[in-house]
Structure 1
Amino acid sequence: MSSQARVSRQIIIQPTGEKPRKDRPMVHYKDRAELKDSVARAARTVWPGNARISVEITGHWSACTGRIFVNNRDAASFAPIVPRTAPETEAFDFGGQAS
């Protein structure tokens, strides 16, 4: 059983070569596998007709950043939204721990 706390974050999805999407889906995760699954579910709203969506996490999984591949094509990047009012330390504390 994992001792990690479940984290909920809004993410920005930016299709390759385009502006970031206006919708900001929520992802919920407590480990790398759950993050990948949650981002893939969020990507289904952007690419509903495609059968194969995969997610690659860049850096440590708790940072919630990576790439989305649709039918093996690099389709988008994703990153968490960090409120401007958040303390600077929180911008780098993506593990769900209180600052």
Structure 2
Amino acid sequence: MFKRRAIKKYGNKLLPKLQHRYGEQTFYNASQVRATIYQCNFNPSYLPLGYLLFLDSCDLSKVITIEFPELCIRKYKEEIKDYLNERKYYGYLKLLSI
């Protein structure tokens, strides 16, 4: 239950928080996403999900390689998508299907 709630919070509330703090942007940088997650009480266990949603692909690869070297971002994305399909929740997270 806590996993679903944490993921749902990322899908519903992270973008509005980023927009409020940094203005409306197509992509945000890693420090903006990280700061928002820690300062606005998001579950930091899903920090890679925040990066996946709001960093451009080049920055995403660099940041994941440095901060989460053991994480395969493709597998992580598939796991999140499978979990969401199972729970029938999408919200903003429908972007993961793109």
Q: Which has the larger radius of gyration?
A: 1
The structure whose RCO (Cα within 8 Å, separation 6+) is larger is 2
TM-score for both structures, normalised by structure 2: 0.30
Structure number having the greater helix percentage = 2
